[in-house]
Amino acid sequence: MSDRRTAILESAARVIARRGVRGLRVEELAAEANVSKALIYYHFEDRADLLRRTLAYVNNRAERYTTEQPGTARPDRPLRRLERALLLEFQDIPHVRENSTAWGELRASAVFDPELRGELALADVIWVREVADCLGRVQPAAPESALTASAERLTALLEGLSTRWLSDILPLEDARARMRGAIEAEVAHLARHARCPVHRTASALPSSQDLFD
């Protein structure tokens, strides 16, 4: 991939972090990348293509920093690894902030644009499986279904906290603290499930039918 192309993608990530996916104007991107509008249309089919490729690019960058660093000789202990993965998003560093923002935008856009859902659903499955895997190492006795449920909660929470952080509604350190608290709560939750496998969420509390009479 040409340098110029990459430079445009990097600029696009910055502009998206500033204006959102739906607020990205080709002209503003051109200014940010110090190129002409026409050059963008030379390197990309149209605005939609540019957006898709930028999101893919951001996604790759995110995977790169989620994955274990090569320098780490011995893998982290499971709980530590889990925390590292889930807290990685909460750092006030341009790249990370850009990725979080773009990712949040992708999610928000998918509510109205079914075309975006495929990529999102796939990334979610992978992400949930990774977190469930970490949880499984922390609580090996917990049933698979409980691990998945906990992982789905943690990843969904991540997004909610991230949105609040990026909107300056929740300070960064609070977001991190909430995330840590949730991990603690879920790990304890799984420990209870492991000790008493019959105990199910669905039957432990009144069903949805009861709630709306």
Contacts of DNA in 27-46 (CB under 7 A): 27, 34-39, 41-43, 46
Query: How many other CB atoms sit within 10 Å of the CB of residue 87?
Result: 15
Does 147 interact with a second copy (rule: CB under 8 A)? no
- How far is the CA of 91 from the CAs of 4, 42, 96, 128, 136, in angstroms? 28, 35, 6, 21, 26
Does 166 interact with DNA (rule: CB under 7 A)? no
Contact 85, 134 (CB under 8 A): yes
Contacts of a second copy in 40-69 (CB under 8 A): none
Residues contacting 96, CB < 8 A, separation 6+: 65, 88, 89
**What length is written for the chain?**
213
Stretch that binds a second copy, among 1-9, 40-48, 79-87, 129-137 (CB under 8 A): 79-87
Q: How many residues interact with a second copy (rule CB under 8 A)?
A: 66
- The item of a second copy, DNA, none sharing an interface with residue 166, based on CB under 5 to 8 Å by kind, is a second copy
Task: Work out which of 112, 144, 196, 209 binds a second copy, going by CB under 8 A.
Answer: 112
Smallest CA-to-CA distance from 123 within 81, 186, 62, 82 is with 62
Contact residues for DNA (CB under 7 A)?
2, 4, 24-27, 34-39, 41-43, 46-48
